Amino acid sequence: MHTPHNTHFIRLEHITHAYATGASHHAVLHDVSLSIPAGQSCAIVGASGSGKSTLLNLIGLLDEPTSGRVVLAGQDMTRAGAASRAIARNRIIGFVFQSFNLLPRLNALDNVALPLLYRGIPQHQAREAARQQLKRVGLTARGHHRPADLSGGQRQRVAIARALVAEPSLLLADEPTGNLDSHTAQGIISLLLSLNRECGATLVVVTARRRHRRSHGALH
């Protein structure tokens, strides 16, 4: 999807979101509007239960708002059907989660290659692309390790490489450092920021921990 420069890559307009719980509704987001320019890095910070993951899932087209509009790369995704939302999600968005979500039976290289295999890209080509992404996150020597044989920080690097392998224009990370010690966590945040600068993908990170923002000052 073409992204004109200096436009707002993400635009949320008057988003309200409520979860249905039994017979009642539990309102989580109340009239949220925000714009994030293409290439920007930013953090969503807030207390547990305040709706950070809900907001990220709406941006990532994993869920639909109760009301309001979600506009990505100039396209109103709110009324788009499930199929075009899935296509947009696969083409433009890479996700990184707190719990890594790697497949335990596959080694690092094949975990990273998987999104390309799903798209029908031949295995040798997918593996070559995966090799390049593992290099980018500093894990060239670990391609044949399974997730269980990697440290937490290394697992998250593999997950980041997997999120980047299809060259997304938007990288969404939900508490990517939540399972890591603070030193490793800082390394992951630095990596995400340098990838954001290097490849120009818009980066949105959910974090419950303000100190990452302060110590780096670059998430704004």
Per-residue binding string, Mg ion, 37-56, x by CB under 5 A, is ----------------x---
Quick one: 53 or 202, whose CB is closer to Mg ion? 53
Q: Minimum Å distance from CB 206 to ligand ATP?
A: 7
Q: Minimum Å distance from CB 22 to ligand ATP?
A: 10
Q: Minimum Å distance from CB 33 to ligand ATP?
A: 18
Quick one: 154 or 156, whose CB is closer to Mg ion? 156
Distances (CA, A) of 43 to 62, 86, 141, 212: 19, 24, 31, 10
Query: Could you tell which of ligand ATP, Mg ion, none binds residue 208, using a CB distance below 5 to 8 A set by kind?
Result: ligand ATP
Q: Is-contact 166 135, C-beta < 8 A?
A: no
Task: Verify binding: residue 177, Mg ion, rule CB under 5 A.
Answer: no
Q: Report 20-79 residues binding ligand ATP (CB under 6 A).
A: 21, 26, 28, 46, 48-54
**Tokens representing residue 145 in the block:** 């390790």
Quick one: 73 or 173, whose CB is closer to Mg ion? 173
Quick one: 110 or 175, whose CB is closer to Mg ion? 175
Q: Minimum Å distance from CB 29 to ligand ATP?
A: 8
H-state helical runs in the chain:
52-59, 82-92, 108-118, 123-136, 152-164, 182-199, 210-216
Query: Could you tell which of Mg ion, ligand ATP, none binds residue 14, using a CB distance below 5 to 8 A set by kind?
Result: none
What order do you get walking across the sheet with 93-97 strand by strand? 41-45, 202-207, 170-174, 93-97
Quick one: 49 or 217, whose CB is closer to ligand ATP? 49
**Tokens representing residue 214 in the block:** 């302060």
Q: Report 8-27 residues binding ligand ATP (CB under 6 A).
A: 19, 21, 26
Binding residue count for ligand ATP, defined by CB under 6 A: 13
Quick one: 22 or 104, whose CB is closer to ligand ATP? 22
Return the closest-CA partner of residue 90 out of 54, 131, 120: 120
The DSSP string of 27-74 is EEEEEEEEEEETT-EEEEE--TTSSHHHHHHHHTTSS--SEEEEEETT
Strand, helix or coil at 208? coil
Q: Residues in the site for ligand ATP, rule: CB under 6 A?
A: 19, 21, 26, 28, 46, 48-54, 208
